[in-house]
Amino acid sequence: MVSGLEDITAVTILLIIVAGFAAGWIDAVVGGGGLLQLPVMLMIPGITPVQALATNKMGSIFGTATSSVTYYRRVKPDMRTALPMAAVALVGSIGGAVVAASLPGSVFKPIIVVALIAVLLFTVFKPGMGELTALRHSGRTHYVVAACIGGVIGFYDGLIGPGTGSFLVIAMVSLMGYAFLEASAKAKIVNLATNAGALMFFLPHGSLLWGIGLILGLANMAGGYLGARTAVKQGSKFIRIVFLLVVSALIIKLGVDVWNENISVALAG
C-alpha cells in the first residue's frame, strides 16, 4: 500500500488541506470543486495523472458523503428520485472510466466548453429559474428523465469529470423543474454514486495514494459539511450565484486547456 507521503513537504500537505477544504465547500454548494482540487494533486512531485485522478476521487467521496448526509437531514430530498438516479449514475460512471482508459478526454473538451457556455447564458437570461420547485414531469416520465440525467452525467464524470455537480444541478433545475437547493441536495447523492463508480474502477489498478487521499478526504469532509450548511441557510438564490461563478471558472479552465492543446498540436506539426 502506497501512502504518497514519503517525500512530500509540509507546505505541500498544507496546500492539499486548503484545496480539499475549498473544493469540498464548492462541491457541496453547487459542484465543480475539482477545479481546485485536481490541479493541486497534479502539482505533487512524482505523482502520475492516474494516481492524481484516483486519489482525487478518494478525497471527493468523503466530501460528497458528508454533504449528502447534511442535505438529507436538513432538506429531506425525495429519495424515490435520488436513489434510482444515483444507481444509474454509478453504472454510467464505471462505463465512462472504462472508455477514458482508451480515449483521451481532450476529444470531448471543446464540446463541453460549448455546452457550458450555453448553460451559463441560459441561466443568466432566466433569472427566476430554480427559485421554487415546480416539477415539469410526473409519474413514470419523471423517473425516466431522472435516470437519463444520471446515466449521461455519470458517464461524463467517469470520462472527464470537471463540473459534474454543476451539470447535475442545472439538468435537474432546467429539465425536471427543481429549485436550486433541492437540485443541489439530490446532486450530492448522485455525485456520491459517481465517485464510488470511478473508485471501483481505479481500486484494482493500485493507483490510490492512501495517505494523501485520507488527508484530502478529511479536509474535503470539513468543507462539504460547512458548504451544505451554508447552502441550506442561504437558499436557492445564493446557490444560483455560486453556480454562475463556478460555471464561468469551468469555461475559462477548459477553454484554456483546449487552447493549449491546439497550440501544442500546431507546434508539433
DSSP code of 209? -
Give the residues of the chain that fall short of pLDDT 50.
none
With b for 16 or more beta-carbon neighbours within 10 A and e for fewer, the 156-182 pattern comes to bbbbbbbbbbbbbbbbbbbebbbbbbb
Cell of 82: 435520488
Cell of 83: 436513489
Report pLDDT for 269.
62
Nearest CA-CA partner of 70 in 27, 33, 133: 27
pLDDT confidence of residue 23? 93
Entry pTM:
0.86
* pLDDT of res. 4: 63
pLDDT at 172: 95
